[in-house]
Amino acid sequence: MNREKDMANYALVFFVVLSALLLLFPSTKFAQTARIFASYSLYPSLHYGAKYDYYIRNVPENFLNILKTDQENRELKNRIKELEVSVKAAEAAEAENRRLTGEMGLARNFALKGAWARVINKNPLDWYGAFFIDKGSRAGVTLNSTVVGFEGSRLGLAGRVFEVYPYFSKVLLITNGVSSVICAAPGASFEGLAEGRGTWLLKVNYIPEGSDIAEGMELVTSPGGLLFPQGLPVGRVARVHPKESFMNFITADVSPAISINSLKEVYVIKRELPEDLSGLSEGAKK
Amino acid sequence: MTIIGDILLYLLTGAVYWWWTANLTVFGLSPNIIFMAALAAAILARPVKAMAYGFLFGLFLDLLGSGVFGAYALTYTLMAYGVYILKRHFDLIGGFSQIIAALTLSVLTMLLDQSLSLIFAKLNPLELKAFLVEPFLNAALTPFVVYLFSQLKKGFGVL
């Protein structure tokens, strides 16, 4: 028992002296370097932005440079992440700028006056049916105004204004199942009724048997239709169906002149419509 | 084998302390695992080994901390010796006595470390909220750590 007590006393003296030496001579390079190495390895975040003048005293310069480089590296990595986000945003803005510049150029040469509007909402359940634009009656949009879309250097009929609110409007697309447009082919002698089917294709009906319709032919709005200005591109004939034996007219599939489901901006044509048309009921075919 | 077990226990305790303080602090507070381990070693081990554990655990905290180097080593060495003296007069095997010892020794070690930091480096490392809360966290968990260490002692012969 006494031996253990003696050993305990010796151990106490030994460790206390050792601790006191560490306390009295704390500036040894080895101790400080080991200490900062351990703490930096286990808790690097402790050192970010810290004023550790006291802490790093007597640590060799080359070791400090490694630590500073590591901190600089972490800061630069964070900066790169921020810049990547900025670059993506700038690319999107640049693409939009290019697209709008092209569309504005087309609009200047477009004889019909109107206003630009941005597509603000689409219902996934009614993708080819309708969308909302950010212009309403306060911007001069009226019921049944013609809506035109642009795709690159092409323009095409997108639909007509279906509902008007003070600050936004709803556009009924030509691909909607209740839409129909009287169309004709430039230089040809026939007219047909292009009807929406709720998909990306239109169907043209009532083309007289023996008409010179052919695949690839461009169809535009007909002068016979009162609702839309004449001459607006509607689409291109994708497929002509053979005449059924019990019918006396032929039908054709038409792909719209523009990709209607990817429109981001549209041009709403302002023009005076006959009074009867301004009160056209919702969803009614003209 | 005992030495290897002791080294492993030391490293394991350090790893747990490091993980806990990095991931499980609440409002910047966490129990001092190293303190509890040093106290458990002081209660369970023979005095020389207990002081060696205290010194080395203190050295671990000194390495990680930014206070004066050697303050924790001295503090925990003295704590181990104090527990050795206490054991001869009080029963530290019971959970309640371990809680009281942990509470008291937490406060005393904090004050001693603070005093050494002020004397040797004019540093003030002790935060008030840690001073007010940490002793209670240590006291609450110390019986569990002592039990764990005692099982390791029985099972693997460490300490």
For residues A39 and A44, give the distance between their C-alpha atoms in angstroms, rounded to a whole number: 7
For residues A27 and A235, give the distance between their C-alpha atoms in angstroms, rounded to a whole number: 84
Residue A225 sits in which domain range?
114-277
Instruction: For residues A174-195, give the mean pLDDT.
Output: 87
Indicate which CATH number applies to the domain containing A173: 2.40.10.340
User: Is the pLDDT score of A52 beyond 60?
Assistant: no
Q: Return all residues near B32 (Cβ < 8 A) that are at least 6 apart.
A: B17, B106, B134, B137, B138
Nearest CB to B51; choose among A4, A15, A39: A15
Q: Tally the C-alpha atoms within 13 A of residue A96's C-alpha that lie toward its C-beta.
A: 10
For residues B89 and A26, give the distance between their C-alpha atoms in angstroms, rounded to a whole number: 37
pLDDT at A282: 45
Question: Count of domains in chain B?
Answer: 1
Does any domain span residue A53? yes
Does any domain span residue A264? yes
pLDDT at B67: 73
Does any domain span residue A201? yes
* More confident: A67 or A277: A67
DSSP assignment, residue B29? B
User: Is the pLDDT score of A107 beyond 60?
Assistant: yes
The string of pLDDT tens digits covering residues B95-115 is: 999 999 999 999 999 999 889
User: Is the pLDDT score of A42 beyond 90?
Assistant: no
Residues A43, A122, single domain; the answer is: no
pLDDT at A94: 84
| Selection from A39-43, A80-84, B74-78 with the highest mean pLDDT | B74-78
Q: Does the beta-carbon distance from A35 to B70 stay under 8 Å?
A: no
Per-block mean pLDDT, blocks of 10 residues, chain B (159 long): 86 89 81 94 94 94 80 94 91 90 94 88 77 92 94 88
Does any domain span residue A204? yes
For residues A239 and B76, give the distance between their C-alpha atoms in angstroms, rounded to a whole number: 90
Percent of chain B with pLDDT over 70: 99
pLDDT at B159: 80
Residues A154, A19, single domain; the answer is: no
User: Is the pLDDT score of A47 beyond 80?
Assistant: no
Boundary (domain end) residue, out of A59, A78, A100: A59
Residues A52, A128, single domain; the answer is: no
CB atoms near residue A191 (< 10 Å): 19
| Selection from A18-27, A31-40, A161-170, B36-45 with the highest mean pLDDT | B36-45
Instruction: For residues A105-126, give the mean pLDDT.
Output: 76
Residues A39, A171, single domain; the answer is: no
Instruction: For residues A72-85, give the mean pLDDT.
Output: 90
pLDDT at B28: 77
Whether B123 and chain A come into contact, CB under 8 Å, resolves to yes
User: H/E element holding A172?
Assistant: strand A169-173
Residues A53, A156, single domain; the answer is: no
Residues A264, A155, single domain; the answer is: yes
pLDDT at B43: 94
User: Is the pLDDT score of A46 beyond 70?
Assistant: no
Look at residues A122, A276, A252, A123 and name the one whose alpha carbon lies nearest to residue A197.
A252
Residues from chain A contacting residue B77 (CB–CB below 8 Å): 12, 15-16, 19
Label residue A99 by pLDDT band (50, 70, 90): confident
Boundary (domain end) residue, out of A20, A37, A59: A59
Indicate which CATH number applies to the domain containing B103: 1.10.1760
Residue B97 sits in which domain range?
2-156
pTM, two decimal places = 0.52
Nearest CB to A38; choose among B48, B63, B68: B63
Label residue A1 by pLDDT band (50, 70, 90): low
Q: Do residues B126 and B110 touch, judged by C-beta distance below 8 A?
A: yes
Name the phi and psi angles at A162, rounded to 5. Answer: -110, -40
- Give the bridge partners for A194, in sequence order: A181, A204
Does any domain span residue A283? no
User: Is the pLDDT score of A180 beyond 50?
Assistant: yes
pLDDT at B123: 73
Residues A42, A122, single domain; the answer is: no
Name the phi and psi angles at A202, rounded to 5. Answer: -105, 160
pLDDT at B118: 86
Q: Return all residues near A130 (Cβ < 8 A) that are at least 6 apart.
A: A123, A159, A162, A170, A171, A172, A173, A176
Alpha helix (H) ranges present in chain A? Answer: 2-24, 29-42, 61-108, 275-278
- A279 three-class SS: coil
Boundary (domain end) residue, out of A36, A59, A82: A59
User: Is the pLDDT score of A26 beyond 70?
Assistant: no
The string of pLDDT tens digits covering residues A261-279 is: 788 889 998 877 766 665 5
Residues A129, A268, single domain; the answer is: yes
Percent of chain A with pLDDT over 90: 18
Instruction: For residues A54-70, give the mean pLDDT.
Output: 73
User: Is the pLDDT score of A285 beyond 50?
Assistant: no
Q: Do residues B71 and B107 touch, judged by C-beta distance below 8 A?
A: no
For residues A26 and A31, give the distance between their C-alpha atoms in angstroms, rounded to a whole number: 7
CA end-to-end distance (rounded Å), chain B: 11
CA max distance for chain A: 125
Does any domain span residue A205? yes
- Give the bridge partners for A252, in sequence order: A204, A240
Question: Count of domains in chain A?
Answer: 2
Average pLDDT, chain A: 81
For B14, the closest chain A residue by CA position comes to: A42
Does any domain span residue A82? no
Q: Return all residues near A105 (Cβ < 8 A) that are at least 6 apart.
A: none
Residues A197, A130, single domain; the answer is: yes
Does any domain span residue A78? no
- Mutation target to probe the A interface, by most A beta carbons within 10 A, among B19, B51, B119 is B51
Nearest CB to A39; choose among B51, B58, B63: B63
Task: For residue A51, give the amino acid letter.
Answer: K
